[in-house]
């Protein structure tokens, strides 16, 4: 059977199950089992997939990261810091749209997949009481969180891709940085189309209240800074850095007379449904590799008569859709690496295996198709803009 026909059946199965309102984890799991059944129905591969998933450090790094990010959110919400931070933002700008976009983008700098869970409650808090759908809130949190990936030197994908291709990170960033403001503008136009939010009326408050809200704002960002320092300076894994950050934040809040019950926080942070979906997605990724689907896909595309630029673009986009991993490009070729990065990130923004999408949909209870549909429009416009730039200004 053709690999593309199998891929089409898998995608169709995923769409049907999601349309039937099955959970994302269950839908992805069934799609993975269909791949196994059509390509390599050997029972040991299922066992091997589970074992391999449980042996990979990335599994526990992600689950631990998500868990501790939820802990941080509970700490900040119970201590009142989250509410104070939103009020401080409202003093800086009366635009709720701008506040949501900026907060999601800024927190997107956190080099952890779980960061989407950190920005979600802030976006929800800002939009509280407004006539904006859960689908759009999911899309806003998801889209704006990723707009800095073209210009940030701490994005793991950029670091890894540059390392593989042998190109300095700064060269790639200088070449792609313009896509960040472009993504912001596109997201603003598409995601806020026909959305009217009430502007916050600036209320005169006392100097003491201003200082309190400013302090809440600083307290809310302190965990992000602690996590960044631990990950970048001490090279700790995301889950370890965030675990230490949870304890440090609890101590800091106690010193600031905003105590929270750490034991209660640790218990309430367990979100079984989210963890279940994460394990299903990781098992799906294991089946992609063990059944040989990814290898067959690469072989079929590379053997085509398409130009190298198109081969890299198609592979990066398709691999991005399947696994959320940016494909490696031709060593030392900045243009090829740029194409791989942009198309790979484009694929990631449309895949149900992207954890940030899973987290956003789970938190806001948004509809998968409506949320991805909005992001697909944004991504199509962004890819079109990049394609035009490559055509007009090729790298020689």
Q: Cβ(353)–Cβ(324) under 8 Å?
A: yes
For residue 67, which of 122, 112, 114, 108 has the smallest C-alpha distance? 114
Highest mean pLDDT among 82-86, 100-104, 105-109: 100-104
Backbone angles phi, psi at 2, to 5 degrees: -60, 140
What gap in Å lies between CA 235 and CA 242, rounded to an integer? 12
E strand segments, the chain: none
**What's the pLDDT at 162?**
64
Q: What pLDDT, in 10s, does the model give residues 190-248?
A: 999 988 887 666 566 777 888 888 888 888 878 878 877 887 788 787 788 889 999 99
pTM for the structure as a whole: 0.67
For residue 136, which of 152, 124, 148, 147 has the smallest C-alpha distance? 124
Higher-pLDDT residue of 265, 167: 265
Q: Cβ(339)–Cβ(313) under 8 Å?
A: yes
Find how far residue 17's CA is from the centre of its chain: 23
Could you report how far apart the first and last alpha carbons of the chain are, in Å? 41
What is the DSSP track for 163-227? HHHT--HHHHHHHHTTHHHHHHHHHHHHHTTT---PPPPPPP--HHHHHHHHHHHHHHHHHHHHH
Q: What pLDDT, in 10s, does the model give residues 300-344?
A: 766 766 665 555 555 555 555 544 443 443 455 677 777 777 877
109: its two tokens: 């700098």
What gap in Å lies between CA 2 and CA 8, rounded to an integer? 10
**What's the pLDDT at 297?**
72
């Amino acid at each position: 059977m053709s690999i593309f026909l199998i891929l089409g059946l898998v995608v169709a199965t995923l769409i049907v199950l999601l349309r039937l309102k099955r959970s994302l984890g269950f839908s992805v799991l069934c799609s993975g089992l269909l791949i196994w059944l059509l390509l390599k129905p050997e029972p040991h591969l299922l066992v091997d997939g589970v074992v391999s998933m449980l042996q990979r450090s990335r599994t526990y790094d992600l689950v631990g990261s998500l868990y501790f990010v939820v802990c941080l959110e509970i700490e900040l919400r119970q201590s009142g810091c989250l509410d104070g931070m939103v009020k401080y933002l409202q003093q800086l700008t009366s635009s709720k749209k701008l506040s949501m976009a900026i907060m999601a983008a800024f927190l997107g700098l956190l080099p952890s997949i779980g960061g989407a869970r950190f920005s979600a409650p802030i976006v929800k808090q800002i939009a509280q009481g407004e006539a904006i759908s859960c689908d759009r809130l999911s899309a806003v949190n998801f889209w704006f969180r990723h707009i800095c990936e073209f210009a940030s030197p701490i994005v793991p994908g950029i670091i890894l891709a540059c390392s593989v291709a042998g190109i300095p990170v700064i060269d790639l960033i200088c070449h792609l940085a313009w896509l960040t403001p472009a993504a912001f503008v596109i997201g603003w136009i598409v995601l806020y189309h026909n959305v009217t939010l009430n502007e916050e009326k600036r209320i005169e408050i006392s100097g003491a209240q201003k200082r309190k809200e400013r302090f809440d704002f600083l307290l809310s960002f302190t965990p992000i800074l602690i996590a960044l320092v631990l990950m970048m300076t001490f090279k700790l894994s995301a889950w370890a850095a965030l675990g230490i950050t949870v304890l440090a934040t609890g101590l800091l809040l106690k010193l600031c007379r905003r105590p929270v019950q750490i034991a209660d926080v640790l218990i309430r942070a367990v979100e079984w449904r989210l963890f279940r979906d994460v394990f299903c997605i990781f098992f799906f990724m294991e089946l992609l590799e063990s059944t040989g689907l990814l290898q067959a896909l690469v072989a079929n595309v590379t053997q085509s008569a398409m130009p190298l630029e198109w081969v890299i673009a198609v592979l990066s986009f398709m691999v991005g859709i399947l696994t959320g991993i940016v494909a490696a490009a031709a060593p030392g070729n900045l243009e090829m690496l740029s194409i791989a990065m942009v198309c790979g990130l484009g694929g990631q923004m449309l895949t149900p295996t992207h954890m940030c999408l899973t987290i956003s949909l789970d938190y806001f209870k948004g509809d998968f198709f409506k949320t991805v549909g909005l992001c697909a429009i944004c991504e199509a416009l962004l890819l079109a803009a990049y394609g035009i730039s490559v055509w007009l200004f090729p790298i020689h």
